[in-house]
Structure 1
Amino acid sequence: MIHNMPWLRAVPVTAISLVLTACGGGGNDAPAPEIKVLSSRADFVSGGDALVEVAVPAGVNASDIKVDVGGRDVSSAFALRNGRLTGVVAGLANGDNTITAQGNGIKPSSLKVTNFPIGGPIISGPQVQPWVCATSTAQPESGTTPSSNGSGLSSAATDAQCNIKTETRYFYKTRTAGCTNVLPDPTPPATAPATACFKPYDPAAPAPADLATTTTDAGVTVPYIVRRERGTVNRGIYDIAVLFDPSKPWTATAPQSTWNGKVLYQFGSSTGQPRKQFRPQGSWADDKSLSRGYMVVQNSLTDSQYNSNRVLMTETVMMMKERITKNYGEIKFTMGAGCSGGSINQNTASSIMPGLLDGIQPTCTYPDSETTTMEVLDCVLLVEAYQKPEWLALMTASGYTQAQINAKKAAINGHVDQTACHAWNNLFGNNGKPGNFFARVVSDNATGAITQLPTSVNNCGLPASVVYDPVTNPNGPRCGALDSAVAVFGKVPGTIYPRDTRDNVGVQYGLKAFVSGGITAEEFVTLNERIGGATRDSVLSASRTIADQEGLAIAYRAGIVTSGKQLAKTAIIDMRGWDDSTIIPLPIGLAGSAAGLTGIHHTWRSFQLRERMDKANGNHDNHVMWRFGRTGFVPSTAVALDSFLTMDKWLTNLKADTSATPIEQKVVKAKPAEAFDFCYLSSDATQSTKVTNRAQCDTDPFLRPASSPRQIAGGPLAEDILKCQLKPLNVADYAPQALSATQLQRMQAVFPGGVCDWSKPGVAQQEAAGALNFSAGGGQPIAAAPVSAPR
């Protein structure tokens, strides 16, 4: 349940019960009943309604208690159910509302409830504008009118917050063998294949002859009928899917037995920041969870491709869980799932707001977006540096073959080969661009040659004439990743620029490659002379990139840079596949696009996440890693099911522990026997033998972790230092290699303030402070949850 989150906790229910019992009951001696909002914190209600419980004092009849909101009687919404007086209070006004419970001979009590619009925001701060609402059918761009996406809903948005009327549809699972588990309700003009496992269901028609049945993990056998609810929350379009009997009612206080009370929250991949409303990118038609009675949930603003503001993403998860609780019933636990950007969102939500997700299953793992951006920027700078005349002249003068040149690049980059940086450059190298741009892409994986594409685009998805241009439209909407989270990071005072967390001042690129002899002294010096950086508009510059200290502090304090300490409060099964190159053939004989590889989901990232937990907690006991590499980075159906069932058991154990033990200890204590580290060797054709010897796993080229440009520059595996502290350049750090006097002078010119001192914490680095409220800017600590009080 949402109110069980540490950051939502108020007075323990057990303590209240003891107090009420001790006070006796009835008459004038009856204590004031406690009022609790079950669907969210009392000060974080949205959409005008809330699931509320009134604790009945001992000896008092529930029917004697009257409940009102600001003098409006809402007692009829309440009934005694399973010994608890609960009801959904509707009609809450935006802003503060007062719920009062009282009765004859009972001391009255009240609770202040703060309600926000269903379109948000609550804690994420002012919403970015403009924002293009989805339409029933997608509309093309016309002049300065932007295109819109198909919503999958029949109604139009009703207001500027893109609120669209909620709709429900029913689907059933067919018994037809060999059916395809795909999304059965794609946005027109796309249509679901005739072989789809889920098909439209009409409650008014006779039951289809091929209607399957399923037995939930609670032992309830039902027709396999799914209710899919679609609507809008926080300007995102959501889907909620769950087993449902259309002939029976369902309320938050009396859910159908088809639901086991568990939620699988799906987070979408990639990363981006379009100024548009989308449908979720994933499929709610997840048989392994739906068939067992799980509710499957997604929202486009928790898809990283459509939203890279991690505070907004986390807020959206919070609001979605509130909607579920007050419409379907209280949640037993919430399990996350998602790859790549979906892993970022799971890890970051668990860092920003621990307890929001009870357990997560990141695949293609990255700890967070800020430190991933660090590698992207390094790769962009490196691929450009390798094409500059000074570097090319060195390669030519030395008479290196292309293979030898690429080996040097791999040594500097820290990757398996040069293609990983090519992939970062091509896929996400332009994500920080605030206006229109012509993408520069590596067009030859062998030579690293760069081609500029002929068509300009922008990250907002808006007409070119509308968006920011430093000369012709300086006040137009800015479209970079940091711009999408300007409400979180704030602006540099007196400017239009969001505070920047990117930095490479003091970074000695290729340091370890030089020390080990992988590159020469001249190559090392030339590289660092020519690497440069990026401006606030993400334009390549001869100068290094400089972060804003205030922006750095916010990234750490808010948990946007994922905190190992915060992650210890969440059960984690990390499914790590291989995607370290786009040219090396997999054991199955495929490489590059033929194998679906992107070259960016590197094995070392899972170890980076684990290192943060080890540093913060002295262990990573809540983190389990399952490695596989034979077929790439996407887990097989068998591995995904194994993870799902193991996490289900883990979270079931966790929720059974109602003790006052700290959550970090409870998570470890609840870990089932199946939750242990293992790998499937790439030589294992059936991927069925679990190898638990890490050394053996690490000998497999498709399992062992490589590295990154920052680690080759001397940085830590945790890669949680956005901006390093500096120290004087010391030639002893290069032993057994040496620089000439001239080369040393050139290095000192590159690093006049010194080089990175990786033995020290990063600039402004600090522990995450827990959930912060950005509604007033700057990120203020969230006060304790409101509790009711006698009047």
Structure 2
Amino acid sequence: MHTPTPGRHRGWPVLSCVAAAAALTLAGCNSDYEADPVEIRATSNRADMVSGGDVTLQIVLPAGGRTDGLRVDVGGRDVTSAFQLQADGTYRGVVTGLADGANVITAATLNTRPAALTVTNAPRHGPVFSGAQIKPFYCATPVQQVVNGIVPASNASGLSGAPDANCNIATEFKLYYRSTTAGCSLGLPDATAAMAPTATTVPANPTPPANLCFKPYTAGTTPADMATTTTDAGVTVPYIVRVERGTMNRGIYDIAVLHNPAQGWNALAPQAGWNGKVVFNFGASTGQPRRQARPATAWTGSDLQLRRGVMVVANSMTDSARNSNRVMMSETVMMMKEHITDTYGPVKFTIGSGCSGGSINSNMAASIMPGLLDGVTTTCTYPDSETTSMEVGDCVVLVEAYQKPGWLALQAGLTQAQINARKAAINGHPDQSACHAWYNAFGSNGRAGLYNQRLVANNVTGAIFQQPTATNNCELPNSAVYDPARPTETANLPRCNAWSWGESIWGKVTGSPAAKDTRDNVGVQYGLKALQTGAISAEEFVTINELVGGIDRDSTPRAERSVADADALPIAYRSGIVASGRQLAKTAIIDMRGWDDSNIAENLPPGYTPNQIPIHHQWFSFGIRDRIVAEAGNANNQALWRFARTGLTPPGTMAFDAFLTMDQWLTTLKADTSAASIEAKVRSAKPAGAADFCILPSDATQTVKVTNAATCDADPYLKPTFSPRQIAGGPRAEDVLKCQLKPLVRTDYAAGTFSDAQWARLQAVFSTGVCDWSKPGVGQQAAVSPLTFSAGPGGAVLPAAPVSVPK
């Protein structure tokens, strides 16, 4: 530790000119200062977005500034001992004990003028910029607790300490070693799995497998079966992993990294086993429960990264199943990265990874707050939740419409195959099963309160049944949430859809506790392209558009179309919540696109094992590419690796190959110190191995990479299909939440398409007009993210990051 040199300025240097002191300037008089002020830089995060009570600072000396006599204080508290002189002539240190709110950091050396930097610190439980946190929210406990009245059963935290009122739990550290035992099972047993919210008994812990790849380690011992590993930096160490478990932004996190327990570790002196790289694992699905839980992604599944010296990170608030507020999710990533920098040392680069909802969060972090992730490697990819919900919503209203008497009567006399061919043509999918899957898996996810779930019971006919027992999406007892059947009595109870979970972003409807949302299908002509190709008749086209209707803000079906809140739409675009091609172009992307478009046996690729919920459609990856091309000129920052035979799981070593390729890509990117834009740097750094390719489903070995795009596109299982809204005329980018309207004009259709009676019915359906897809969507605009929602819903552009000023 550097010890400041004693001398004439153990306190702040004294000005020899009183007038100059009053004016805080040295101009025009003599002084004891010989150099300009130092510069104080916050390096673990922006100075106005710090959290957890600590921050890493760098103190840069001006020309002529001497390194001796450093003094640093925080509001008068001397923290000089936290700083060390670096080889480049700067000082670096981690200042701890920051108060919530503004903290003035002041620094100078023996011959430099003092400078001050205001650091604004948020508590460990947040928020930083996502706005007011949702309440009520129930903390996890050391041991699972059963339901108690309106308080749901608690999940076990995996921590021994009790939570405080903000769900903060004392951090713990545990050691594990990698066993050399042949055939060891992958992963540690998890005795803290989520507990049903209405559970009245605590489940028994699972029995651990007989052999574990990772076993608990006692410091100072050398187990006979302990492995060694050599990192990608060439450092050979015992394969011991330290797992830090704690809470951040009300989520429970795990940080796993190679660790030598015989050596110390701090941010100024990281251990050699860590290469400075971070993989952030995002959890799948989507939901908005009000209960704290452990992250869904276990660190034990990342052996190939850990053994190379990579740090593996997960937080339950970045699991899509636990948190559908994408701004809060991005905030959590930011807070975790700052904590890593303040605790472990500088991060070289961060790779986001995930499937399904995990891919949403990977893309959302890159769009909402560019720079959080340097690269992403995703599978079963969606661009974002806001636009993906359009296909979900369209499928829900179509599946319901197909069971209404008017449509069933129209199909009388047709075979089931003929009926399903019409559904597929309207849906845009290979068959009816994909919309059935959306309906069953996420069709009720938008329900704001109590509901009885409706499910497709027959995948061939689409017949629907309704569950007899009510439930809710908050994971709370039914008596504790809003009930649409009793709207007045329960108006102020928690609402359970994604928009209410994110009401700090969207705001509330005037005079209502309901949150604003973006769902809309006004003017959408379902089945338009199917009509134009003759796949459905004019009568079928008119009828389905008469029957499809929409939903209200509680997601209750209604005859009228769904209508978005007009002022919610610009928020979605400006904030980057609708994944922005312009923002995504700043991130290196490897998208491993598998096949998941059907679960009907005759429509599956050769060798494919059917997935019961085929919702990860191939067109989503191409939609992302279309957005990047439209907003950034080209999509050379995106690599698309296609396959079909193995479903959603990349064949062979593809997933690890993606990690290695991304590692190479980002290593080259970080070495580029030119003045080029980040978009240009990302494209320039792209390695040859990141080129697009496909593996044909006819390839039994699943090893031959085909780089000819035409060959890939010609394969029926690699060629993207469509969505209901694309069949209605919308763009494949699927980034129009609400379309602008144009008049319904008969000459826009082939002559003789409609009878006069059919045309009159169509005019009644589209009395305000039909979608004009040649125009941007209502409220559609370029992202200016990141936004801060600290002042309330709607968001404001972040000001320039604070800098130090002369004192």
**Superposed CA offset, 1:382-402 (max 9, x none):** 000000000000001xx1100
Partner of 2:740: 725
Per-residue CA deviations over 1:422-461 (Å, capped at 9, x if unaligned) read 0000000011111111100000000000000122110000
Aligned length: 759
TM-score, normalization by structure 2: 0.92
Indicate the residue corresponding to 1:118 in structure 2.
124
**What residue number does 1:95 align with?**
101
Alpha carbons 2:395, 2:435 under 8 Å: kept: yes
Q: Judge conservation of contact 2:740–2:773 (CA < 8 Å) in 1.
A: yes
Mapped partners of 1:693, 1:213: distance in 2: 42
1:120 counterpart letter in structure 2: G
2:530 aligned with 1:516 = no
Q: Is the 8 A contact 2:66 2:110 kept in 1?
A: no
Separation (CA, whole Å) in 2 of partners of 1:289 and 1:726? 51
- Helix, strand or coil for the counterpart of 2:388? helix
1:405 corresponds to which of 410, 415, 419: 419
Contact preservation (8 Å) 1:492, 1:499: yes
> 1:240-279 to 2 correspondence within 5 Å?
240-279=255-294
CA distance in 1: counterparts of 2:682 and 2:282, whole angstroms: 22
Q: Which moved more, 1:312-321 or 1:626-635?
A: 626-635
Residue 632 (1) aligns with residue 647 (2): yes
Aligned to 1:311: 327
**Residue pair 2:320, 2:358 contacting (<8 A) in 1 also:** yes
Separation in structure 2 between the aligned mates of residue 81 and residue 185 of structure 1, nearest angstrom: 43
CA contact (8 A) 2:141 2:154 kept: yes
SS in 2 for 1:64: coil
Residue 459 in 1 paired to residue 453 in 2? Answer: no
**Distance (whole Å) between structure 1 residues aligned to residue 158 and residue 751 of structure 2:** 64
Partner residue, 1:4: none
Identify if the C-alpha distance between structure 1 residues 650 and 27 changes in structure 2 by more than 3 Å, giving closer, same or farther: farther
Match of 2:28 in 1: none
Between the aligned partners of 2:715 and 2:153, the Cα distance in structure 1 is 48
Shift of 1:588: 5.4
Distance 2:32 2:652 in 1: 62
1:726-775 Cα shifts (integer Å, max 9, x gaps): 01112233226601111001000001110000000000100001200001
Aligned pair in 2 of structure 1 residues 702, 686: CA closer, same or farther (>3 Å)? same
Q: Deviations over 1:443-500 (max 9, x none)?
A: 0000000000122110000011010124231110001111100000001122122112
Residue equivalent to 1:424: 438
**Aligned pair in 2 of structure 1 residues 737, 197: CA closer, same or farther (>3 Å)?**
farther
Deviation at 1:82, TM superposition (A): 3.1
Q: For 1:573-611, what per-residue CA distance to the aligned partner results, in whole angstroms no more than 9, with x for missing partners? A: 00000110122364455543xxx4421000111001001
Residue 693 of structure 1 deviates from its aligned partner by 1.3
Distance 1:65 1:240, change over 3 A: same
CA contact (8 A) 2:283 2:319 kept: yes
Kindly provide the CA deviation profile for residues 372-416 of structure 1, in whole angstroms up to 9, marking residues without a partner as x.
1111110000000000000000001xx110000000000000001
Aligned counterpart, 2:762: 747
SS, match of residue 263 in structure 1: strand
Structure 2 match to 1:386? 402
**1:171 counterpart letter in structure 2:** Y
Between the aligned partners of 2:609 and 2:751, the Cα distance in structure 1 is 38
Partner of residue 7, structure 1: none
- Contact persistence 2:375–2:587 (CA under 8 A): yes
Determine if the alignment matches structure 1 residue 40 to structure 2 residue 54. no
Between the aligned partners of 1:104 and 1:93, the Cα distance in structure 2 is 28
Q: Structure 1 unaligned runs (5+)?
A: 1-25
Please list the CA deviations of residues 506-525 of structure 1 after superposition, one character each: whole Å capped at 9, or x if unmatched.
00000000110000111100
Q: Which SS does the other structure have where 1:260 is aligned? A: coil
SS at match of 1:607: helix
- Is residue 412–residue 712 contact of structure 1 (8 Å, CA) maintained in 2? yes
Alpha-carbon displacement from aligned partner over 1:241-285 (angstroms, at most 9, x marks no partner): 000000100000100010000000001000000001010001112
Cα contact 2:35–2:111 (8 A) shared by 1: yes
Once the two structures are TM-superposed, the CA of residue 349 in structure 1 deviates from its matched residue by 1.0
1:18 corresponding residue in structure 2:
none
Q: Report the 3-state secondary structure (helix = DSSP H, G, I; strand = E; otherwise coil) of the residue aligned with 1:107.
A: coil
> Given that residues 628 and 679 in structure 1 are in contact (C-alpha distance below 8 angstroms), is that contact kept between their aligned partners in structure 2?
yes
Q: How far 1:704 sits from its partner (Å)? A: 1.4
2:780 aligned residue: 765
TM-score computed with the length of structure 1 as normaliser = 0.94
Aligned partners of 1:185 and 1:191 also within 8 Å: no
1:22 maps to what in 2?
A: none
Following superposition, the deviation at residue 532 of structure 1 comes to 0.4
Correspondence 1:628-667 to 2 at 5 A: 628-636=643-651, 638-667=653-682
Q: How far apart, in 1, do the equivalents of 2:419 and 2:236 lie? A: 63
Q: Distance in 2 between matches of 1:603 and 1:239?
A: 32
Residue aligning to 2:78: 73
Post-superposition shift, 1:636?
A: 3.3
Q: 2:526–2:727: 8 Å Cα contact kept in structure 1?
A: yes
Equivalent-residue separation in structure 1 for 2:449 and 2:353 (angstroms): 33
d(CA) in 2 for partners of 1:457, 1:51:
46
Superposed counterparts of 1:496-507, under 5 Å: 496-507=513-524
Q: Paired residue for 1:141? A: 147
Trace 1:121-270 onto structure 2 (pairs within 5 A).
Answer: 121-157=127-163, 159-183=164-188, 185-187=190-192, 189-204=205-220, 206-270=221-285
2:391 to 375, 381, 398: 375
Q: Give 1:495's aligned residue.
A: 512
Aligned counterparts of 2:651 and 2:45: Cα–Cα separation in 1: 36
**Structure 1 residue 639: Cα displacement:** 0.6
SS at match of 1:322: helix
Q: Is the 8 A contact 1:533 1:543 kept in 2?
A: yes
Say yes or no: does 1:325 pair with 2:341. yes
Q: CA RMSD in A?
A: 1.4
AA in 2 matched with 1:107:
R
Distance 2:609 2:34 in 1: 77
Q: Deviations over 1:587-644 (max 9, x none)?
A: 455543xxx4421000111001001011112211101100011011122350101100
- Given that residues 574 and 623 in structure 1 are in contact (C-alpha distance below 8 angstroms), is that contact kept between their aligned partners in structure 2? yes
Quick check: 1:236–1:277 contact (8 Å CA) kept in 2? yes
Match in the other structure for 2:304:
288
CA 1:642 to 1:736, structure 2 compared with 1: closer, same or farther past 3 Å?
farther
The one-letter amino acid of 2:460's match is A
- The alignment status of 1:707 with 2:713, answered yes or no, reads no
- Partners of 2:605 and 2:753 lie apart in 1 by 41
Q: Aligned residue for 2:11?
A: none
Moved more, 569-578 or 732-741: 732-741
- Tell me by how many angstroms 1:186 deviates: 4.5
1:478 aligns with 2:478: no
Q: Secondary structure at the match of 2:567?
A: helix
Q: CA distance change for structure 1 residues 78 and 191 in 2, over 3 Å: closer, same or farther? A: farther
Percent of pairs with identical residues? 61
Deviates more, 1:737-746 or 1:370-379: 737-746
Of residues 94-103 and 116-125 in structure 1, the stretch that sits farther from structure 2 once superposed is: 94-103
Query: Does residue 1:615 correspond to 2:630, yes or no?
Result: yes
C-alpha distance in structure 2 between counterparts of 1:107 and 1:723, whole Å: 56
Contact 1:183-1:284 within 8 A present in 2 as well: no
CA–CA distance in 1 between the matches of 2:185 and 2:654?
19
Say whether residues 1:558 and 2:572 are aligned partners.
Answer: no
d(CA) in 2 for partners of 1:544, 1:577: 34
CA deviation after TM superposition for structure 1 residue 360, in Å:
0.5
How far apart are residue 683 of structure 1 and its match? Answer: 1.1
Change (3 A) 1:482 1:163: same
| 1:86-129 deviation digits (Å, cap 9, x = unpaired) | 11111111110100002443211100010110000011000000
Tell whether the 8 Å contact from 1:182 to 1:192 is kept in structure 2 after alignment: no
Amino acid at match of 2:670: K
Displacement after TM superposition at 1:73 (Å) = 0.6
Quick one: which of 685, 689, 699 aligns to 1:670?
Answer: 685
Letter of the aligned partner of 2:768 in structure 1?
G
User: 2:365 is aligned with what amino acid?
Assistant: A
